[in-house]
Every structure is written in C-alpha cells, then in structure tokens.
C-alpha cells in the first residue's frame, strides 16, 4: 500500500516537473516570438513612414499645378464663350505642352458643365475631349469648394489615376470650369515592387486602389454598405472593376496600426505583419504587409533556456530539500544514539551497583557463616564456664569464682572486637558518598592514632608522601583500612630486631599508589592468596580475627580501588591503589 502511494507520488512529481518544463518553455517561446514580431513590426513601421513620404512628395509636386493653370488668361477667356474648333486646337496643344513639361499624366480643361473642352491627350483614341465628367466628385467639389480631388479609374482611358482639380473663375468669381491634372502611379508601383513587402493604398472606404503586387488591387478591407456601392456606381470611381473583399483576421495586435494578420488568399493562408499609416491630406491609408521572418531559432533558444532554468530551479530545490531531510535524519540519529548511550550507561551502572552489592552480600554471607562458627564455640564454652561459676559460688569458693570469670571476660572482649569489625563493614556509607579527600592526610591521621604504639615499640618510620593526593572516597573507612595495614605491619615486626616501617604515596598512571612495607619477615608463599579471605589469620587465638584484611579489601574495592600484597627483602608490602581525582587537581 505504502509502496503504491510512494510510486503514485513519484509519478505526480515527475508529471509536475515535466508540465513545468513544458509550460515554462512554451511561455518563453511565445514571449520570444512576440518580442521578435514586435521588433520586426517597429522596423516595418519605420519603413512605412518612408514610403508614405515618397507618395506624399509625389502628390505635393502636382498639387499646385491645376490652381496655377486655372489662372491662365487664355484658358479663362476660352471658357467665357463658346469654344471654337480653333480655340480648342490651341488649348489642346497648350495643355499637351504643359503636360509634357510638368510630366503629369494628363491635363484637361472642363467647362462649367463638366464637359472636357481641351485635354493633353487629344491625339489619343482615349482622348477626354468631348466627354462630360460632371458626375465625377472632383468636378462637383471644384464647383462648390474651388478645388477637388478624387482617385478613380478613367472612364475613357480605363487607366486609374488621381484627379486634382481647381476652379477656373471669371473676374467676378463666376465658375467657368475646372482645370484637372491626372496623376498615375505606375512608376511608384514599380518602384515599390522592388522590395519584398506588399504595399497597398486604400481609400476612405478601405478599397485598395494602389498595390505593388498583383492580385491586391480592388480588394476591400472592410465591408461596403449599399450606400457605398451606390456611390461608387454613380461616381464610376472604380468603373467596371469588380470589388472583392479580402478575407483576413487579426491574430495579434501590437499597437493601433500594427497587427499580425492572417490573410486568406487563393493559395491558402499567409500571416503578415500589417502596418497601416493614415494619410490625412488624401484621406487614404498606406499599408505595409511583411511576412514575418521565422523566429523559430530565437524562440527555440528561449524555450530551451527557460526549460533549463526551470529544471535547474527544480533540482536546486530538490537538492536543498534532500540536504534538509538528511540533516534532520542525522540529528534524529544522533539524538537516538545519545539516548541509547545514556540508557546503556544507566543499565551498566545499575548492573555494576547490583554486582557490588551482591558481592558484598556474598562476602557478608561468608562472614556470617564463619562468624557463627567463631561465636558458637565461645558461647558453648561460656555456658559451661557459667555453670562452673554457679557451682563455685554455691560452694562459697568466691576466689575461684573470680578466677573463672577472667577467661569469660576475655572471650566477651574478643566477641565484641569481632562484631565491631563487621559493623565497620556493614556501615555502608550512603551509596555514592565519595567526598573529596587527601589520601596523605588519611595517612597522617592513622599514624596519629597509632602514635603511642609506634613510640613504645621503637618503630622507625620512613614517610614519602606526595601531597595533596586527592581521591574520592569515605575518609573514616579509608582510615580503617590504613589502620588495619599498619597494625598488621607492627604485629609482624613485634619480635623482629629490625623495625622499619615505610610508607610511600606516588601518582602512577592516573592512580595513587600507597605502599606500606615492613621488616616483619613477610608472608609465607602459600598464604599470599589467602590473606584477604575472611577469618584467615596466623595469629594466635585471641590476637587475630582474620577479618581486618578481608574488610579492608572490600572497602577499597567499593571505592574503585585495589588492594594487593607482595613480599620484599625483609617483609611484606601492601599496595593500595585509588583513582586520582583529576578534577580536584585541576581546580587546585
Ligand atoms: P588478623 O590480623 O586478625 O590475623 P588480618 O586479616 O588482618 O587478620 O590478617 C590476616 C593474616 O595475614 C595475618 O594473620 C597474618 O598472618 C597475615 N599478615 C597480615 N599482614 C601481615 C604482615 N604485614 N606481615 C606478615 N603477615 C601479615
């Protein structure tokens, strides 16, 4: 179950990472694509400005021409009366000449009814002369406003062009007719067709009438109303040309006149960056269409970079997360380890205490058994002696009774000594009583207690103590140990001629080594292992109990030390080792 949820979670994480990679790459690609397009659009827009300028300059060059010609006295006087064939001929030639010099397309003179009375193209079959153009808006505009302009397909020539007209007026401001210049843009269209861009000029209704590429002319960019269509029909602006809508849709809008447009053509759809620039004076709009350069490489690079950055971020987060978890795990493990060590230490201590206690109990048991044996005999003897005593008193033998009391007294003293030893051992200092004490001072105190005996027996004492010798322990019990050792040494030397007692205290390997040596003849080889046994004694009955060393041994062990014995030159040497209290030494 846990395995399944683990693998499900893993799958989920992988999916999230993959989705993140795809999304970040996609977004970056889109962004890069849009940025490239916008940059391209800005460049196209700049170029569009240049194209608009060239068109504007071209038109401006001719704008004043009809107005200047309208002031010509010859033209004005010709329109004031009926035009004779001679006058017409003269005017035709004049216009032809001016047209040639001005390099305009056609010049024509209309009378007040819109009838062309003279034209520069009078020689051609498509001559305007004799045709009435009163239906053309530029004529109507000129009549009402003094000037007019209009782009249209020539109804006579079939050639499209821009008609600029100016009113010819009499001195009394009477409208006599209109001077019209027609501009055609084949050169402009040709010039524009050199580049790769598509350039279009549309009129106010959105009908394209100039295009540098075939197939675009007479397409309308927005729907035409029936009014529009009617108007176009009446003015014969595009004459017999079929107006076809251009199917297009905006994909992206960058600025007001800057878009990405999908155009539905005969050969399928094409995307164009479409820049438009309104030409205010003419009421036209100039368009520049450019096929966007493939931004594939840039956007792919951007996508790869974004995916890389995303993955780097993900792996960084995973790495940090892993580190954090490892750190936590380590911390937990360390804590667990510490806890285990503490637990084991506690267990060990308990076990050790238990061992010490059971060892002590075992020793006590051993001692009690021996004690019972030791005490039983004197008790039986005492009972017998008491019976003897009673008999003696019954017979009035008081003196004898007194004599019989003596061994009883001795026996009781001996028993009291026996129990006092055991009391010392049993007096278990509260567990852990480990006061800081100077072992050298304990030696001093013990020697002080035995001072009288040392003096009386003429003992030569040699002391070599290192001071202070800090240990942890129980001063009274250690004193007890030392007194036992010293007494034994004195006992051993009692009948010896040489009585040298030597006590030394040195630090060796973190231990204080306290040595008590004498010249008492030493211990028989076979007894060396038994001297610490309870009730082992070689002393005559009444002198030794055999408990001193056993109790001392137990006390020293309890304090974490050792008590050992060896023979040397002329006597025995007892060595007491106790751990140095390093802490105390550092403080001091
Ligand atoms: P006790 O002194 O009552 O005999 P101990 O346990 O003190 O009991 O001593 C046990 C025995 O060890 C002594 O009886 C003696 O034989 C031997 N002993 C102890 N100390 C010395 C010593 N310094 N020199 C020789 N023998 C010793």
The DSSP secondary-structure symbol of 540 reads P
Q: Do 502 and 443 lie in a common domain?
A: yes
Nearest-CA residue for ligand 1 atom 16 is 538
Of 405, 420, 442, which residue constitutes the final position of a domain? 405
* DSSP letter for each residue of 194-243: TSSSEEEEE-TTSBEEEESSTT-TTEESS---HHHHHHHHHHTTTTTPPP
Q: What is the pLDDT of residues 463-522, one digit of tens each?
A: 999 999 999 988 878 888 998 899 999 999 999 999 999 999 999 999 999 999 999 999
User: Following CA atoms 94, 95, 101, 103 in sequence, which dihedral angle do they give, to the nearest 10 degrees?
Assistant: -170
| Phi-psi region at 460: left, alpha or beta (left = phi > 0; alpha = psi -120 to 50) | beta
Q: Do 393 and 444 lie in a common domain?
A: no
d(CA 551, CA 322): 62
CB–CB of 176/140 below 8 Å?
no
d(CA 388, CA 405): 10
Q: Do 369 and 504 lie in a common domain?
A: no
Nearest-CA residue for ligand 1 atom 19 is 488
Nearest-CA residue for ligand 1 atom 2 is 544
Q: What pLDDT is stored for residue 240 in this prediction? A: 81
Q: What pLDDT is stored for residue 421 in this prediction? A: 59
Residues in the chain: 588
Mutate to test the pocket of ligand 1, among 421, 424, 484, 488 (most ligand atoms within 8 A of CB): 488
Q: Do 451 and 560 lie in a common domain?
A: yes
Residue 86: is it exposed, middle or buried by C-beta count within 10 angstroms (0-12/13-18/19+)?
exposed
CA dist list (Å): 218 to 244, 283, 377: 7, 17, 150
Q: Do 503 and 370 lie in a common domain?
A: no
pTM reported for the whole predicted model? 0.49
CB–CB of 473/578 below 8 Å?
yes
* DSSP letter for each residue of 482-528: HHHHHHHHHHHHTT-S--EEEEEEEEETTEEEEEEE--S----GGGT
User: Does residue 15 fall inside a structural domain?
Assistant: no
- The number of angstroms, rounded, from the C-alpha of 203 to the middle of its chain's C-alpha atoms is 61
Q: Do 388 and 473 lie in a common domain?
A: no
Of 358, 390, 405, which residue constitutes the final position of a domain? 405
544 lines ligand 1 (CB under 6 A): yes
CATH number, position 462: 3.30.565.10
The enclosing H or E element of 41 equals helix 2-63
Nearest-CA residue for ligand 1 atom 3 is 544
Question: Checking DSSP bridges between strand 175-183 and strand 106-111, what pairing results, if any?
Answer: antiparallel
Q: What pLDDT is stored for residue 281 in this prediction? A: 83
Q: Do 486 and 392 lie in a common domain?
A: no
User: Does residue 539 fall inside a structural domain?
Assistant: yes
User: Does residue 152 fall inside a structural domain?
Assistant: no
546 lines ligand 1 (CB under 6 A): yes
Ligand 1 centre distance from Cα of residue 484 (Å):
9
Q: What is the chain's Cα-based Rg?
A: 68
The count of domains in the chain is 2
Q: What pLDDT is stored for residue 535 in this prediction? A: 79
Q: Do 364 and 439 lie in a common domain?
A: no
537 lines ligand 1 (CB under 6 A): yes
The enclosing H or E element of 367 equals helix 296-394
The closest alpha carbon to 201, from 253, 146, 161, belongs to 161
Q: Do 371 and 512 lie in a common domain?
A: no
Ligand 1 centre distance from Cα of residue 564 (Å):
13
Q: Do 447 and 380 lie in a common domain?
A: no
> Which atom from ligand 1 is nearest to the alpha carbon of 520?
24
Mutate to test the pocket of ligand 1, among 489, 549, 570 (most ligand atoms within 8 A of CB): 549
The enclosing H or E element of 66 equals helix 65-70
Judged by DSSP in three states, 107 sits in strand
d(CA 390, CA 383): 10
User: Does residue 52 fall inside a structural domain?
Assistant: no
Q: Could you tell me the two tokens for 338?
A: 């510490």
Angle, CA of 128, 130 and 133, to the nearest 5°:
65
Mutate to test the pocket of ligand 1, among 498, 500, 531 (most ligand atoms within 8 A of CB): 531
Ligand 1 centre distance from Cα of residue 549 (Å):
7
The closest alpha carbon to 570, from 473, 457, 489, belongs to 489
d(CA 15, CA 314): 13
Q: What is the pLDDT of residues 130-185, one digit of tens each?
A: 899 898 889 999 999 999 988 888 877 788 889 999 999 988 889 999 999 999 88
Nearest-CA residue for ligand 1 atom 18 is 488
The closest alpha carbon to 567, from 507, 503, 520, belongs to 520
Q: What pLDDT is stored for residue 494 in this prediction? A: 92
The closest alpha carbon to 166, from 219, 108, 253, 207, belongs to 108
548 lines ligand 1 (CB under 6 A): yes
For the chain, list residues with pLDDT below 50. Answer: 431
Nearest-CA residue for ligand 1 atom 13 is 537
d(CA 213, CA 199): 8
User: Does residue 544 fall inside a structural domain?
Assistant: yes
> Which atom from ligand 1 is nearest to the alpha carbon of 539?
14
List CB contacts of 278: < 8 A, sequence separation 6 or more. Answer: 257, 284, 285, 286
User: Does residue 485 fall inside a structural domain?
Assistant: yes
Q: Do 439 and 555 lie in a common domain?
A: yes
- Domain range spanning residue 367? 346-405
User: Does residue 565 fall inside a structural domain?
Assistant: yes
The DSSP secondary-structure symbol of 537 reads -
484 lines ligand 1 (CB under 6 A): yes
d(CA 221, CA 200): 11
User: Does residue 112 fall inside a structural domain?
Assistant: no
Q: Do 435 and 398 lie in a common domain?
A: no
List CB contacts of 523: < 8 A, sequence separation 6 or more. Answer: 531, 565, 567, 572
CB–CB of 523/540 below 8 Å?
no
CB–CB of 514/503 below 8 Å?
yes
């Amino acid at each position: 179950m846990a395995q399944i949820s683990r693998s499900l979670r893993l799958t989920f994480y992988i999916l999230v990472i993959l989705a993140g990679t795809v999304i970040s790459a996609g977004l970056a690609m889109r962004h890069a694509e849009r940025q490239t397009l916008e940059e391209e659009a800005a460049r196209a827009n700049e170029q569009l400005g240049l194209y608009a300028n060239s068109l504007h300059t071209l038109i401006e060059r001719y704008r004043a021409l009809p107005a200047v010609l309208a002031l010509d006295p010859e033209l004005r006087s010709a329109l004031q009366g009926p035009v004779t064939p001679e006058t017409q001929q003269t005017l035709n030639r004049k216009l032809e000449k001016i047209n040639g010099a001005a390099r305009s397309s056609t010049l024509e003179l209309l009378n007040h009814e819109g009838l062309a009375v003279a034209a520069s193209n009078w020689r051609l079959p498509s001559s305007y002369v004799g045709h009435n153009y009163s239906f053309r808006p530029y004529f109507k505009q000129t009549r009402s406003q003094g000037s007019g302009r209009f782009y249209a397909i020539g109804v006579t020539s079939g050639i499209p062009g821009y008609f600029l007209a100016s009113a010819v007026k009499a001195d009394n401001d009477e409208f006599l007719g209109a001077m019209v210049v027609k501009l055609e843009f084949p050169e402009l269209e040709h010039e524009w067709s050199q580049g790769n861009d598509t350039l279009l000029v549309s009129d106010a209704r959105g009908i394209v009438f100039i295009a540098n590429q075939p197939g675009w002319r007479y397409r309308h960019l927005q729907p035409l109303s029936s009014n529009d269509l009617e108007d176009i029909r009446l003015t014969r602006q595009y004459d017999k040309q079929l107006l076809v809508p251009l199917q297009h849709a905006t994909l992206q809008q960058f600025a007001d006149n800057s878009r990405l447009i999908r155009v539905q053509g005969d050969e399928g759809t094409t995307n164009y960056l479409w820049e438009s620039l309104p030409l205010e004076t003419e009421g036209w709009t100039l368009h520049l269409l450019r096929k966007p350069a493939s931004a594939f490489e840039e956007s792919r690079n951007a996508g790869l970079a974004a995916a890389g950055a995303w993955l780097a971020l993900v792996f960084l987060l995973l790495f940090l997360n892993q580190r954090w978890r490892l750190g936590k795990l380590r911390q937990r493990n360390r804590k667990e380890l510490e806890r285990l060590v503490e637990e084991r230490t506690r267990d060990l201590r308990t076990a050790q205490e238990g061992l010490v206690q059971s060892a002590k109990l075992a020793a006590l048991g051993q001692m009690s058994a021996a004690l019972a044996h030791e005490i039983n005999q004197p008790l039986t003897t005492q009972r017998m002696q008491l019976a003897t005593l009673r008999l003696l008193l019954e017979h009035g033998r008081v003196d004898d009774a007194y004599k019989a009391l003596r061994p009883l007294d001795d026996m009781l003293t001996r028993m009291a000594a026996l129990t006092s030893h055991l009391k010392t051992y049993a007096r278990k200092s509260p567990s852990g009583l480990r006061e800081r004490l100077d072992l050298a001072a304990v030696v001093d105190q013990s020697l002080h207690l035995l001072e009288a005996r040392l003096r009386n027996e003429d003992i030569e004492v040699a002391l070599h103590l290192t001071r202070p010798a800090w240990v942890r322990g129980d001063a009274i019990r250690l004193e007890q140990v030392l007194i036992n050792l010293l007494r034994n040494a004195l006992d051993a030397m009692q009948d010896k001629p040489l009585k040298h007692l030597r006590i030394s205290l040195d630090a060796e390997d973190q231990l204080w080594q306290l040595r008590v040596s004498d010249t008492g003849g030493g211990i028989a080889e076979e007894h060396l292992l038994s001297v610490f046994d309870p009730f082992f004694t070689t002393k005559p009955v009444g002198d030794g109990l055999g408990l001193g060393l056993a109790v001392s041994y137990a006390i020293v062990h309890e304090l974490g030390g050792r008590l050992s014995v060896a023979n040397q030159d002329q006597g025995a040497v007892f060595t007491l080792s106790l751990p140095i209290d390093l802490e105390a030494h550092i403080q001091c």
